[in-house]
Structure formats: structure tokens, C-alpha cells
Amino acid sequence: MNVSMKKEVAEELVTFKLRQIQILIEEILQRWNEKVIEDFLEKAKDGTLHEAENDAIELKQLVFEEEKLQNLLKKLV
């Protein structure tokens, strides 16, 4: 099914969703006192950060979604 909408509306929706994802990513990193996604994921993987596995899985998914939305936004602009 196709839906048509103005380009500006689509850009606004994608940008809003991107901001929400970025906020969630930042919240996970802050929870573990980390600043870099890759550092957090490595520490979760090697066990340095105990009990971080669920957040690491969620973070990977959020990063994947962020990349998809960034690509979509580039196509819209």
C-alpha cells in the first residue's frame, strides 16, 4: 500500500523519530556512564559492565534504526 504526503511532513516525521532514538541512545549511555557507543558495547560484551547485556541489545537495535532513518532522510532531502 502506498501513502502520499508532502515531503516536508515526511522529513518532519523522520526527524522527530530520529531525535527520539538519539535520546534513547543517550539515556542508555548515561545509565552506564559511557560516552561512546562502541566502548559501551565492548564493555558489555567482555563482561566489564555486568548486567548490561539487555541494554547492549537494545542499543544495537536503536543504532540500526537510526541508520535506516538517516538514509531515508537523505533520500527525502
Q: With bands split at pLDDT 50, 70 and 90, how would you rate the model's confidence at 76?
A: confident
Domain region containing 17 = 9-76
User: Tens digits of per-residue pLDDT, 5-22?
Assistant: 899 999 999 999 999 999
Whether residue 13 is contained in a domain is answered as yes
Whether residue 58 is contained in a domain is answered as yes
User: Tens digits of per-residue pLDDT, 30-72?
Assistant: 999 999 999 999 999 999 999 999 999 999 999 999 999 999 9
Q: What is the DSSP-derived secondary structure letter of residue 52?
A: -
Whether residue 50 is contained in a domain is answered as yes
Whether residue 1 is contained in a domain is answered as no
Distance CA 68, CA 2 (A): 19
Whether residue 4 is contained in a domain is answered as no
Distance CA 70, CA 22 (A): 11
Whether residue 32 is contained in a domain is answered as yes
Whether residue 2 is contained in a domain is answered as no
Report phi then psi at 3, rounded to 5. -130, 135
pTM score = 0.90
Q: What is the DSSP-derived secondary structure letter of residue 34?
A: -
**Overall number of domains in the chain:** 1
Whether residue 51 is contained in a domain is answered as yes
* pLDDT value of residue 77: 80
